[in-house]
Amino acid sequence: MITLTLVAILGALLVIVLMQLFKKTPTPPAPTAPVEDLANLKVTDARPGDVLSISGAGDKMTDLDFTPDRGTRFEAGSHSWLELSGPYLERRVSVRVGGDEDVEVFVHTDPRKLTLEDLGLSEDDLGQMDERQNTADSFEFDNVTWMYRMSREVQARREHQTQPSGSYYWEFRDGTGGQLLAIRKAEAEPFTVTAYRAVSPSDVTVYRR
């Protein structure tokens, strides 16, 4: 009788062990990415192919509506920003999004092709400013006093570009911070001068198609 009881107990234990071995572990659900709120995209969400509309930033105070076809990420030391550019009327315009703490947005719509000579600067002037690294340095252009902010090597990487391109970069701002002048010099290339003006991030509407 005892033998039969032990056999029954062992049989029951064997069944339990086999059930545990063949019991399927439920597969956890795959993590889902957060759904992007396409109706409330911010300027920091913008990317090439989006439609950007900037209140009052176009010609004759109209809205600036354009579709960026290029996106370039710039890194200059601890400073970084994204520039999106595209066609507008018969020229190219761009939006620069960055900021070390708060988001800063600048637009470039000036149709002029500015040069160092237009600014009244020489390559030697820029070299001396770079050597001094003095934020008290300034120059006058367009009835504005432009204050030196920084100069250093910058790495630029376009969307889907594997290797960045290098150049040297100088940045100047007016007294209020509402305007910015950027000067870049790539090896074996002429200096490029780009004038920007600040806009409020809330004035930029992003549409994703």
Q: What is the pLDDT of residues 39-96, one digit of tens each?
A: 789 999 999 999 999 999 999 999 999 999 999 999 999 999 999 999 999 999 999 9
Asked, for residue 27, whether it belongs to a domain, the answer is no
Q: Residue 89 in contact with residue 65, Cβ under 8 Å?
A: no
Residue 95 lies in a domain: yes
- Tell me the β-bridge partners of 82: 73, 97
Does a structural domain hold residue 115? Answer: yes
For residue 127, CA distances in Å to 122, 168, 171, 185 come to 9, 11, 13, 12
Residue 73, domain extent:
47-207
Task: Answer yes or no: are the C-beta atoms of 48 and 159 closer than 8 Å.
Answer: yes
Q: Look at the chain and report how many structural domains it folds into.
A: 1
Q: Is residue 18 part of a domain?
A: no
Is residue 16 situated within a structural domain?
A: no
- Please indicate, yes or no, if residue 185 is contained in any of the structural domains: yes
On whether residue 8 sits in a domain, the answer given is: no
Entry pTM: 0.81
**Domain assignment present for 11:** no
Say which residues have a Cβ less than 8 Å from residue 135's Cβ, sequence separation at least 6. Answer: 147, 148, 149
